[in-house]
Structure 1
């Protein structure tokens, strides 16, 4: 038996979480600097800046089902490894865009190609690591797995936001992308320390769209939740710069701090009390955080709003994900989670360009008003699902 195989399952899960955190900095570092590069160096408007951010999530939407099927049929480790390779390739392609500022249209096209590769990587890594973690510790702890995976991702956002902005100021866009391309290599090497979980290549499988019908309400709830985070990721820095406030790079840090705090302290709550009650309370907190950013008279309240948004967003995905895992058999787990995550990707992909158009016409605060309304819409859906479950019981 290898040393890695002798580790307790929980220790393997923590190592997997750390691998994901380090690798995900590739995505997080680019998130606040892409809008600045598009509107500054390339001279395009907010709508195209939002598109450059959101196109990542278009790629994840289109590839989640295939990524989940790959994870189920050929193994979660292989899916995650392929995803990290896409991270590296996407960062290197994006680097080329930073070398073409004299040809804005060409640079934007190259940037879009790189962002699509990063989105494909995110799909594969996200589905692969979640299925891998649940395979290590069992489905009864699915909420905990989803909580730790999310803590790694959003912890990466919390560190990656200011790190990306600092590198952008020091090295420019191309230099920032060069650093981003190196980080996933650490994840690729460290994956050898975590034993894989068996695939189920020959089991009977319903259609992907049949599975989507089973989980559509759960997915709609996380779609509503994702709008608040996407608004912060794409437009918080631009909102601060437009107002002349300091601390533009700390929006994702504030969000990530709240997000990770809840995941680390209360990450097992969905497994103990159920995912739906947790989601109901969390959506109310998220809506309040978005409303505070919308109405903030200065940078302090706006950062507090980002922190509250992180607190609220933190357990919605693992809460609803736990419910999804309980609805499907083990050999469909990766496919179902891939489709479930695609609903969140839909929020991320649409929020960038749509909110960019709104910001051009009504100003940046209107973006966060939409985030607050989306949180309330998710709350209504969750309450309806809870009532339907109570009637069925």
Structure 2
């Protein structure tokens, strides 16, 4: 593939960002209201809330290998098409918990089933889009591809939080589920009209061999993911317990800061190397979580959410560009699936562990727990050999 300029690479990546944004609104719309539905409407406790939120990540983790295999053998576009359709189906399962007027236990079972279907859909969607985008612009701009995919993901989360809350107020959780089932179909239609990228031929490494090549970067990513996972799962309940208004805007503040940091500093991982970037961003995220732990008012907590967003923003591409360059092109889908699986590990552990901390010590303590995980992530990054954390070669 002929090299492209930075501006041309960005132009080619924008349709992928829109595709992810539409598909990921299935995650963003219910994010602020699902814990409330489980806790306040169905009457379950914070540990159950944590497990419900974790099911998606656990399922995504278990299906990353499948998503990478589909992407590498069938091509990224079939993976994305299947992923968007599954995301739409997951939201219909959510809606069934309301539309069928189920008692609390069956309704909870349907919500858990919907989270599981969404986990598989997200696995196929994000793995496919990442491989498709990198295949379109070339490995030289792998970091930029991850930046734009992340902007779309967290833009959907930032907008989806207040939008889902507004829909819940207008028509209940069923209205949220209906909206979340339609938007991925628009992403599916867009993907169907975009030119595909053919799978790479050649000998493919076994999936767990790929995991072995990238695991040092993935462990640091998993630990840093605990912070925003805790914030997403328990911010709304923390606000409600304190009698504070405006919890959905915490997700918006996170999303705005996340996107702003990527737009301004998104080229740094490709230019400076991941270790130098992550050593700066992970402490910032840790500071934001400490602010959330100590926040005396909703406005201070809102600032903490923004600091977490700015800090977490570049950690994913900073470590991801290095993970991607450690595997051959024919294993790019598996590498992206394995790398993103560490996000799932972080989120999967977050729900039950942070839920247990919140249940015993109160919701603010969950943010202190997450700050400790972020500090551990920084130690892990500092222990990575600097020689491995260099920028991509010009390819």
* TM-score grouping bracket, smaller chain normalisation: over 0.9
The 8 Å contact of residues 80 and 191 in structure 2, kept in 1 or not, is answered as no
Taking the aligned partners of 2:282 and 2:138, their CA distance within structure 1 comes to 27
Which residue of structure 1 lines up, in the alignment, with residue 314 of structure 2?
315
Taking the aligned partners of 1:102 and 1:119, their CA distance within structure 2 comes to 23
Q: CA RMSD in A?
A: 1.5
Taking the aligned partners of 1:70 and 1:87, their CA distance within structure 2 comes to 17
Which residue of structure 2 lines up, in the alignment, with residue 226 of structure 1?
225
For residue 194 of structure 1, report the CA deviation from its aligned partner.
Answer: 2.3
The 8 Å contact of residues 275 and 386 in structure 2, kept in 1 or not, is answered as no
Which residue of structure 2 lines up, in the alignment, with residue 196 of structure 1?
196
Which residue of structure 1 lines up, in the alignment, with residue 298 of structure 2?
299
Residue 77 in structure 1 maps to residue 90 in structure 2: no
5+ residue gaps in structure 1? Answer: 1-6
Which residue of structure 2 lines up, in the alignment, with residue 128 of structure 1?
128
Taking the aligned partners of 2:12 and 2:322, their CA distance within structure 1 comes to 24
- Number of aligned residue pairs: 383
Which residue of structure 1 lines up, in the alignment, with residue 96 of structure 2?
96
Which residue of structure 2 lines up, in the alignment, with residue 115 of structure 1?
115
For residue 389 of structure 1, report the CA deviation from its aligned partner.
Answer: 4.6
For 1:385, what is the secondary structure of its paired residue?
coil
The 8 Å contact of residues 77 and 192 in structure 2, kept in 1 or not, is answered as no
The superposition leaves residues 166-203 of structure 1 with CA deviations (integer Å, 9 ceiling, x where unpaired) of: 11111111111011101111111112342111113x52
The 8 Å contact of residues 88 and 181 in structure 1, kept in 2 or not, is answered as yes
Which residue of structure 2 lines up, in the alignment, with residue 372 of structure 1?
371
For 1:120, what is the secondary structure of its paired residue?
helix
Taking the aligned partners of 2:345 and 2:101, their CA distance within structure 1 comes to 30
Taking the aligned partners of 2:249 and 2:53, their CA distance within structure 1 comes to 18
Q: Which range moved further: 17-26 or 99-108?
A: 99-108
Taking structure 2 as the reference length, the TM-score comes to 0.94
Taking the aligned partners of 1:8 and 1:216, their CA distance within structure 2 comes to 32
Which residue of structure 2 lines up, in the alignment, with residue 167 of structure 1?
167
Which residue of structure 2 lines up, in the alignment, with residue 147 of structure 1?
147
Taking the aligned partners of 1:342 and 1:188, their CA distance within structure 2 comes to 23
Taking structure 1 as the reference length, the TM-score comes to 0.95
Taking the aligned partners of 2:90 and 2:157, their CA distance within structure 1 comes to 18
Which residue of structure 2 lines up, in the alignment, with residue 208 of structure 1?
207
Which residue of structure 2 lines up, in the alignment, with residue 335 of structure 1?
334
For residue 226 of structure 1, report the CA deviation from its aligned partner.
Answer: 0.6
Which residue of structure 1 lines up, in the alignment, with residue 244 of structure 2?
245
The 8 Å contact of residues 282 and 316 in structure 1, kept in 2 or not, is answered as yes
Inter-CA distance 278–192: structure 2 relative to 1 (3 Å threshold): same
Taking the aligned partners of 1:100 and 1:301, their CA distance within structure 2 comes to 41
Inter-CA distance 101–229: structure 2 relative to 1 (3 Å threshold): farther
Q: Which range moved further: 285-294 or 265-274?
A: 265-274
Q: Which range moved further: 203-212 or 376-385?
A: 203-212
Taking the aligned partners of 2:302 and 2:340, their CA distance within structure 1 comes to 27
Which residue of structure 1 lines up, in the alignment, with residue 392 of structure 2?
none
For residue 8 of structure 1, report the CA deviation from its aligned partner.
Answer: 5.2
The superposition leaves residues 90-128 of structure 1 with CA deviations (integer Å, 9 ceiling, x where unpaired) of: 000110112355511111111111111111111111100
Taking the aligned partners of 1:101 and 1:372, their CA distance within structure 2 comes to 40
The 8 Å contact of residues 84 and 188 in structure 1, kept in 2 or not, is answered as yes
Inter-CA distance 102–23: structure 2 relative to 1 (3 Å threshold): closer
For residue 353 of structure 1, report the CA deviation from its aligned partner.
Answer: 2.0
For residue 209 of structure 1, report the CA deviation from its aligned partner.
Answer: 1.3
The superposition leaves residues 217-269 of structure 1 with CA deviations (integer Å, 9 ceiling, x where unpaired) of: 10001101111110111100110111011111111111111111111111111
For residue 376 of structure 1, report the CA deviation from its aligned partner.
Answer: 0.7
The 8 Å contact of residues 60 and 342 in structure 1, kept in 2 or not, is answered as yes
Moved over 4 A (4+): 387-390
Residue 357 in structure 1 maps to residue 359 in structure 2: no
For 1:98, what is the secondary structure of its paired residue?
helix
For 1:203, what is the secondary structure of its paired residue?
coil
Which residue of structure 2 lines up, in the alignment, with residue 385 of structure 1?
384
Residue 54 in structure 1 maps to residue 54 in structure 2: yes
* Aligned ranges 1:257-296 → 2 under 5 Å: 257-296=256-295
Taking the aligned partners of 2:205 and 2:17, their CA distance within structure 1 comes to 31
Which residue of structure 1 lines up, in the alignment, with residue 158 of structure 2?
158
Taking the aligned partners of 1:268 and 1:54, their CA distance within structure 2 comes to 32
Taking the aligned partners of 1:256 and 1:243, their CA distance within structure 2 comes to 23
